[in-house]
Amino acid sequence: MTDLATELSRTFPKMVASGVDADRIAYSRDLWPRHHFAVRSGIIAANRPAAIIWPESTEDVAALVRWARGRSIPIVPFGAGSGVCGGILPREDVLIVDMKRMTRWRDFDPSAPSLDVEAGHMGVPLETSLERRGFTVGHFPSSILCSTVGGWLAGRSAGQCSGYYGKIEDIVAELECVTGRGEIVTLKARTNGPNLVPLVIGSEGTLAVISSARLRLHPAPIARGFASWSFRTTEEAWNAMREAFQAGFRPAVMRLYDPFDAMLARKGGVRGHAKHDPAIQSVDEGPKAPGFGATVLKQLLRYPQALNSLIESQAAEAMLGGALVVTIFEGSDDEARGNTEACKALMTRLGGRDSGEAPARRWLTHRYSVSYRMSPVMRTGAFVDTMEVAAPWSKLGALYDGIRRALGKHVFVMAHFSHAYPDGCCIYFSFAGSAARDAHGESWDAACERTYDRAWRAALAAAVEAGGTIAHHHGVGRSKAPQMRAELGGGIEAVRALKKAFDPDGILNPGALIPPLDPEPYRPIAGRARAGASL
């Protein structure tokens, strides 16, 4: 046990606290892919917190914050650790506050309908329990199997059905939180007067510790309508999406895949071919030593510009079958059927070729499979990551082309478009890479890390230059913080002022979201000798 854990156990005997190495390792990071280079090279948990504690009530959280503030001990709220942007990267003096013991339903009101639920509730049990009562939150992030309500709020999450139900900020009626002063505050979403709820949603634990939220509910859908269309080009497809949303359609799901990603979607994706691909296996098959296919893959990825040029050629796009749009409508039988048929007529008129229900049904069946694809690729010696950005429709082409060019110099790129709105859309880039060809005298993982950092720097700069936003629903963490000032300009000082008002001593999740004064937060991880070093 660490000294801090011992003191916590003595001060708060009714709460469970730990300072044992196994727990400190488990809470040392989130799922930011940049961490994986160090893990792969044999360096485990270089950023271990001093202790972890599990509160069971909002009053427990408030008492902890007041105690920590009096001792200048930094606090990092922890949901399920499924973030991918470095929102969790504790120093050796940090106290992790794990919220997962706070799972109560405080008030379920079927007449509203709404649910006041504590922040530690996991996603799948929440939806399963509501479904039995005939309701849904309508929030289905890809991480729903390993994420909490508090995590959704802290990261400003978007579910896969956001086209109909909205993002998490559209679903919250009120939230309860504990500020950095240790004060318990309830914030209500207002249509008149000051509305502080949007300030805390997406603040990544830097302004307050979210303890509960009242979520708006919807009747669970009775029926679904499925459809898909192929388009000659990606641009034709996103223009069709735009017209659909601006015409008033609100499908629960409308996703556009560029030609290469569309080819995977038509064939069932990576998971569907795992048994035939020695480089990538299904999670059900368990870990295996990378074979010849893995060696070929990681070497091919050292030539990303050639791979991207090949895929982007007109001949390749034609062979791949063009772009693909999949759509799912939800509601009553009449709503699902009527909206699907009306949308089919519009998309056909806009040049879409009917691809049937199968691609949309296949997507629904494998909607959470993406959560398991990263580890097998990392085992090959390569790496994979995602980047979600957004822009108004008028700037979407510049955003798509700019980021593809920026990433394409360093990694292999594909993309899909999701979370569309009448005024804009989110682009979700997936990319894979390997050690750069100019890596000399470096370990393989260190060389991969350097390629990864180059790709991210270039892509973030390209997003800002194109007039897009650098974060749509994954959050900012430490991964994107360096470009926050470039995107917000002088607005970053307003963010700093909010931090000072909510958390005057700066004890809540220091280092996340708000750009550091040091403009270069990246530090080598893979292969570093000093285990206690941090970014």
pLDDT tens for residues 522-531? Answer: 455 554 433 3
Structural domain range at position 267? 223-465
Q: Is the pLDDT of residue 269 over 60?
A: no
* CATH code of residue 123: 3.30.465.10
pLDDT tens-digit readout, 379-436: 889 999 999 999 999 999 999 999 999 999 999 999 999 999 999 999 999 999 999 8
Task: Name, of 283-292, 319-328, 335-344, 479-488, the range with top average pLDDT.
Answer: 335-344
Q: Is residue 383 part of a domain?
A: yes
Closest CA to 167 of 529, 449, 473, 492: 473
Q: Is residue 535 part of a domain?
A: no
Q: Is the pLDDT of residue 273 over 50?
A: no
Confidence of residue 2 (pLDDT cuts 50, 70, 90): confident
Looking at the structure, do residues 202 and 237 belong to the same domain, yes or no?
no
Q: Is residue 472 part of a domain?
A: no
* CATH code of residue 448: 3.40.462.40
Domain boundary among 465, 492, 513: 465
Looking at the structure, do residues 198 and 266 belong to the same domain, yes or no?
no
Q: Cα separation of 126 and 143, whole Å?
A: 13
Q: Is residue 399 part of a domain?
A: yes
Looking at the structure, do residues 458 and 337 belong to the same domain, yes or no?
yes
pLDDT tens-digit readout, 20-78: 999 999 999 999 999 999 989 888 888 899 999 999 999 999 999 999 999 999 999 99
- Domain count for the chain: 2
Q: Is residue 494 part of a domain?
A: yes
What predicted TM-score, i.e. pTM, was given to this entire model?
Answer: 0.91
Q: Is residue 452 part of a domain?
A: yes
Q: Is residue 471 part of a domain?
A: no
User: Going along 110-222, which residue ranges are E strands?
Assistant: 114-118, 135-136, 172-179, 184-188, 208-216, 218-219
Specify the pLDDT at position 291.
Answer: 57
Looking at the structure, do residues 396 and 327 belong to the same domain, yes or no?
yes
Longest CA pairwise span in the chain (Å): 70
Q: Is residue 204 part of a domain?
A: yes
- Higher-pLDDT residue of 269 and 414 is 414
Q: Cα separation of 414 and 411, whole Å?
A: 10
**Residue keyed to tokens 């064939």:** 267
Looking at the structure, do residues 499 and 406 belong to the same domain, yes or no?
no
Looking at the structure, do residues 486 and 440 belong to the same domain, yes or no?
no
Looking at the structure, do residues 249 and 211 belong to the same domain, yes or no?
no
Looking at the structure, do residues 338 and 272 belong to the same domain, yes or no?
yes
Looking at the structure, do residues 418 and 445 belong to the same domain, yes or no?
yes
Looking at the structure, do residues 211 and 229 belong to the same domain, yes or no?
no
Looking at the structure, do residues 425 and 513 belong to the same domain, yes or no?
no
Looking at the structure, do residues 256 and 214 belong to the same domain, yes or no?
no
Domain boundary among 465, 498, 513: 465
